[in-house]
């Protein structure tokens, strides 16, 4: 009995009031360091605070919603009565529970809502009441927007987006006293979690040079060229826009036609070359492909005037010329990821207009050519917002990568912002080392001229599929693109929605194989066969069909889409040649992959 008693005593942590008081003082002191890190660049003039341009859009959108409800007294009364009834129902339910009766909840969170996964949200009456009050208020606010008649679609979409951002930020899970898990940890550690959290907050504000740069991954053991982007290869060419990497063969023979990968310049290419077991590039090399990859420059002000045309000519077109001289092959298989795919599509249309046959096939990974159904990013696109962004870019010549990264994070703010706020700064738990999220935080800048062209010609005016996009004095027409296309979408994509990619498939003039992968914009693409995860669907029907109807007739295949794509390539062009050495006499290796451009951090 004595041993059991001692073990129980040792394993039970008791609240230490003195330690708690000390830790609270330390947390407050450290929060002062966070404030100092925030103020310092403003005092030195490095950062000049101005009201965010988004604030005007929030006010304008909410004003349109408010005008609808306040313009009619009965309508305003009805909406107030609805929320009042919800609160009264909740109060009645809570009162019955306090009296020991069984009472069903007035509202319940989605089973997929990780914020309220802790059992105490339901077992503890206080937290249950707080959670339901929050959910009722959130539902009411969303209904205000959803049921407001007469709003134009763009204003409604903006209002819905901003309501979600505000309600996500005000969730009770984001505060110490109204998050049961955080409060338990605070009591159990006598507040030590808050000390660690405030220390990380100060470090992250300092790392962001006066703005909060939320760490999503522990950088330990995640270094480009050491733990990631380690597939053997060499940079064989570079200009001021890109480095061209050729990877060393690992098979005796390779496909005769080489592969050129055009990644997005919004992020760095090594998303396709993470750890070896996840690397798409390594897998392609091991599958007998001669792989070339563009590594885009991380532009500064001196490259701010580089246009979409410059990116095309100094990127994929130059790469094709170099590949021809190195391999002797006039044609290449091409692959474009995200906005790199949009660039590839315009390049193909330009080549078709010039009647130049340089491409055997084109593969698009989560890439859009039509922007009618472009999803939540359309919230940021209208004449007013683009003009404001152009004014901001004019001074610096570039769009800072942190701004684009924050826009992407806001599309999934609960997962990519607030979960890290809670874990890092309230629980004091540093994130784990995760290569995908480390890459996600390794943002790049964008040249002002190129980004402006992209926003206006693609998102705002949707010129590529309407046949009105002009590039290098050529009127682009995707129907002239006759090469076979493998068009991959991902089912849960917030950036290039699957229905948008499907709709865009019909504009190409040649055969298109549309494939839908499970998961989202990144995990649905970077899904090695060895992981045995997810699935993909195929269906030959792509014209005049909705995604819902397409799915009804689609065939599901377990696992990764990678082998299906490799088989598709072989069907098009099975001829093989002996494996090629890297570079040539005219293009000797300049440095080891992944090169120096990818190492430049914003």
- Three-state DSSP class for 295? strand
Phi-psi region of 8 (alpha: psi -120 to 50; beta: other; left: phi over 0): alpha
Separation CA 114–CA 106 (nearest Å): 19
Q: Comparing C-alpha atoms, which of 13, 27, 25, 6 is closest to residue 193?
A: 27
- DSSP code per residue over 49-113: ----HHHHHHHHHHHHHHHHHHT-HHHHHHHHHHHHHHHHHHHHHHHHHHTT-----S----TT-
How many CB atoms lie under 10 A from the CB of residue 61?
23
Interstrand relation of 291-296 and 259-262 (parallel, antiparallel or unpaired): parallel
Separation CA 464–CA 165 (nearest Å): 31
What torsion do the CA atoms of 32, 34, 39, 42 make, to the nearest 10 degrees?
Answer: 170
How many CB atoms lie under 10 A from the CB of residue 63?
12
How far, CA to CA in Å, does 78 sit from each of 107, 132, 338, 543?
A: 20, 21, 45, 45
Separation CA 535–CA 558 (nearest Å): 4
Interstrand relation of 359-365 and 291-296 (parallel, antiparallel or unpaired): unpaired
Residue that the structure tokens 């660039």 belong to: 343
Q: Which of 159, 242, 338, 366 is catalytic?
A: 338
CB 281 within 8 A of CB 293: yes
Separation CA 479–CA 482 (nearest Å): 7
- Three-state DSSP class for 478? helix
CB 366 within 8 A of CB 384: no
Is 338 an annotated catalytic residue?
yes
Separation CA 222–CA 442 (nearest Å): 11
How far, CA to CA in Å, does 175 sit from each of 11, 164, 426?
A: 28, 18, 8
Separation CA 531–CA 278 (nearest Å): 9
Supply the residues annotated as catalytic.
338
């Amino acid at each position: 009995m004595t041993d059991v008693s001692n073990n129980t005593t040792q394993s039970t942590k008791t609240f230490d009031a003195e330690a708690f008081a000390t830790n609270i003082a330390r947390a407050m002191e450290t929060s002062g360091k966070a404030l100092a890190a925030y103020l310092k660049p403003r005092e030195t003039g490095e950062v000049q605070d101005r009201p965010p341009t988004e604030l005007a859009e929030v006010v304008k959108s909410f004003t349109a919603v408010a005008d609808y409800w306040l313009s009619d007294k009965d309508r305003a009364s009805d909406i107030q009565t609805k929320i009042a009834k919800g609160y009264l129902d909740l109060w009645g339910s809570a009162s019955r529970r306090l009296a020991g009766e069984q009472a069903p909840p007035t509202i319940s969170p989605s089973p997929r809502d990780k914020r309220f996964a802790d059992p105490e949200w339901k077992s503890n009456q206080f937290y249950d009441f707080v959670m339901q009050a929050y959910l009722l208020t959130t539902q009411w606010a969303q209904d205000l927007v959803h049921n407001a008649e007469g709003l134009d679609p763009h204003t409604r979409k903006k209002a819905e987006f901003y309501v979600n951002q505000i309600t996500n930020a005000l969730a009770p899970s984001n505060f110490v006293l109204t998050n049961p898990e955080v409060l338990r940890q605070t009591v159990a550690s006598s507040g030590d979690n808050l000390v660690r959290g405030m220390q990380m907050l100060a470090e992250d504000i300092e790392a962001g040079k006066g703005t909060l740069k939320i760490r999503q991954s522990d950088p330990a053991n995640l270094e480009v060229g050491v733990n990631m982007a380690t597939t053997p290869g060499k940079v064989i060419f570079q200009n001021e826009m890109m480095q061209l990497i050729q990877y060393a063969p690992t098979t005796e023979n390779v496909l005769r036609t080489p592969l050129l990968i055009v990644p997005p310049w919004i992020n760095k290419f090594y998303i396709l070359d993470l750890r070896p077991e996840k690397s798409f590039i390594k897998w392609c090399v091991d599958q007998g492909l001669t792989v070339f990859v563009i590594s885009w420059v991380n532009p500064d002000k001196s490259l701010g005037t580089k246009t979409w045309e410059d990116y095309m000519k100094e990127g994929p077109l130059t790469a094709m010329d170099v590949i021809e001289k190195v391999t002797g092959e006039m044609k290449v298989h091409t692959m474009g990821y995200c906005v790199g795919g949009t660039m590839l599509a315009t390049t193909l249309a330009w080549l078709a207009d010039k009647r130049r046959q340089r491409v055997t096939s084109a593969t698009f990974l989560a890439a859009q050519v039509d922007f009618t159904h472009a999803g939540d990013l359309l919230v940021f696109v209208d004449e007013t917002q683009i003009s404001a962004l152009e004014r901001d870019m004019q001074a610096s010549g570039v769009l800072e990568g942190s701004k684009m990264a924050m826009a992407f994070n806001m599309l999934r703010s609960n997962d990519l912002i607030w979960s890290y706020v809670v874990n890092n700064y309230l629980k004091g738990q540093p994130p784990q080392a995760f290569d995908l999220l480390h890459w996600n935080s390794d943002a790049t800048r964008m040249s002002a001229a190129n980004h402006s062209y992209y926003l206006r010609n693609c998102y705002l005016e949707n010129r590529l599929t309407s046949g009105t996009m002009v590039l290098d004095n050529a009127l682009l027409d995707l129907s002239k693109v006759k090469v076979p296309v493998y068009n991959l979408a991902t089912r849960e994509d917030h950036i290039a929605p699957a229905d948008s990619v499907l709709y865009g498939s019909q504009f190409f003039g040649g055969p298109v194989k549309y494939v839908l992968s499970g998961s989202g914009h990144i995990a649905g693409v970077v899904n090695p066969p060895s992981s045995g995860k997810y699935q993909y669907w195929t269906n030959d029907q792509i014209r005049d069909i909705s995604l819902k109807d397409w799915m009804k007739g689609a065939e599901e295949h377990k696992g990764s889409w990678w082998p299906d794509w490799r088989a598709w390539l072989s069907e098009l062009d099975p001829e093989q040649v002996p494996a090629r050495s890297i570079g040539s006499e005219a293009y000797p290796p300049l440095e080891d992959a992944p090169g120096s451009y990818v190492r430049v951090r914003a």
